[in-house]
Structures are given as C-alpha cells and as structure tokens.
Amino acid sequence: MLNMDFSQRVVIRSDNEDWLPSPAGGVLRKPLAREEAERGHATSIVRYEPGASFKRHEHPLGEEILVLDGVFSDETGDYPAGTYLRNPPGSGHAPFSKEGCTLLVKLHQFDPRDLDTVRIDTHATPWLPGIGGLEVMLLHDFEHEHVALVKWPAHERFQPHRHFGGEEIFVLSGEFCDEHGRYPPGTWIRSPHMSAHHPFVEQETIIWVKTGHLPI
C-alpha cells in the first residue's frame, strides 16, 4: 500500500520520482497512491513509449485520465494532450500510443452509480468566470464530487477555505502556492476532509482539481 491513509496530507513532486516498469513493455509508471500492486485504488503518472500498448483490461470501478503530453489511443479514438477522459465502471479497453504519451491516471475510484463516459478536449472548451479572477473549466460533477481545471491569473490570492470531502490537485503549469509550500508543475497534492489552506500564485498557473471525493 502507498499513501492510502486519506486522513494525511500528501505532496509528491512527480518530476523527482523514478519511472517504474509496468506489466506491459514500454509502459512506465510513477505511483502516487496505490492499494495493491495491480488492482484496486491507484493514482499514477503513466508514460507510454512510442509504439507501446497495454493488453485489454476492465475497469470495475472506473478509470479517469488526463493526457499530459503526446497522443493516447484506444479502440474508441485518439486523444491528444489536454484530453480529459472518464471510462465508467464496467468498461474496458486496449490502450496504446503510436508516438508516446504521458498521463495522469486514476483507477478504481468511481461511485458505482457514476456511469457517464466523458471525452473533453480542454484546448477547445471555453473557460468560465470563477471567484475573483479565477477561470474555471468544469470537467465532471457527480453528487459531491467535482472535477475542473482552474486558471489562476498572476498575483491572485484566494480566500482561506476548508475542503469538505477533501481536495486533490495536480499542477499543470506555473506555480501553485499556499502557506504550506510552493508547488511547481508535476506536483500532486492530496488534502484530507476538512483540511484548510490559503492558496495564492505569483505567476499565471493552471491546476487540475478534484474536491468532495475523499473519505469523510
């Protein structure tokens, strides 16, 4: 087990982590949280080398993907950098990448009733106004769980707040900051239920953020 105590705050600068082999040749991983070696809850950075493929597999409790670079593919299509994907519980596929790609992948973390298939090109989706100077791109909502991209303009400071149901952040660009530290691109932050912070940025920053989904 790795980082499966959801009452603890976790910060991992994934760029400093080593790539580890997966069962598929040419597919490497940086585990961020993992329940078991090849099953159950998992959050990872995954890299497909050019031409790599993974055998067909099922997603008993879903799969969530954000394509960070390159082009990710399966039998349903080709998904370039910036694509957000949700494969619902009970789905399956045989993924591959002709040119190579890097992904943020979350496995076995869906509510069993959350059955939507989602395919969003974030480069072609408009930003909507958020609180203060923030801009928000909604990616998915299911009851208490909310997933979005958030764009912070330079020198933006958000109000202090608590996270009911926790918060998970992956920094895509810029530098995200709060009173606990500074987080460059590639940083994964998981904050537990009712944790609090006072975030800010000094330069334009984009984060992927999920709230309301961790154990209460």
Upper half-sphere CA count for residue 116 (Cβ side, 13 Å): 10
Q: State residue 34's pLDDT score.
A: 96
Q: Which of 65, 116, 29 is nearest to 73 (CA)?
A: 65
Per residue in 162-177, pLDDT (tens digit) is 999 999 999 999 999 9
C-alpha separations of 166 from 7, 105, 127, 193 in Å: 9, 19, 24, 4
DSSP state of 78: E
∠ CA 72-73-75, nearest 5°, is 165
Q: State residue 38's pLDDT score.
A: 73
What pTM, to 2 d.p., does this model score?
A: 0.97
Q: Are 51 and 25 in contact (CB under 8 A)?
A: no
Q: Are 52 and 97 in contact (CB under 8 A)?
A: yes
Q: With b meaning 16 or more CB within 10 Å and e meaning fewer, what string describes 8-25?
A: eebebebeeeeeeebebe
Number of Cβ within a 10 Å radius of residue 182 = 12
Q: State residue 39's pLDDT score.
A: 79
C-alpha separations of 115 from 50, 99, 111, 214 in Å: 31, 30, 8, 19
Per residue in 90-145, pLDDT (tens digit) is 999 999 999 999 999 999 999 999 999 999 999 999 999 999 999 999 999 999 99
Q: State residue 177's pLDDT score.
A: 98
Q: State residue 147's pLDDT score.
A: 98
Per residue in 152-211, pLDDT (tens digit) is 999 999 999 999 999 999 999 999 999 999 999 999 999 999 999 999 999 999 999 999
Answer yes or no: is pLDDT of 36 > 90.
no
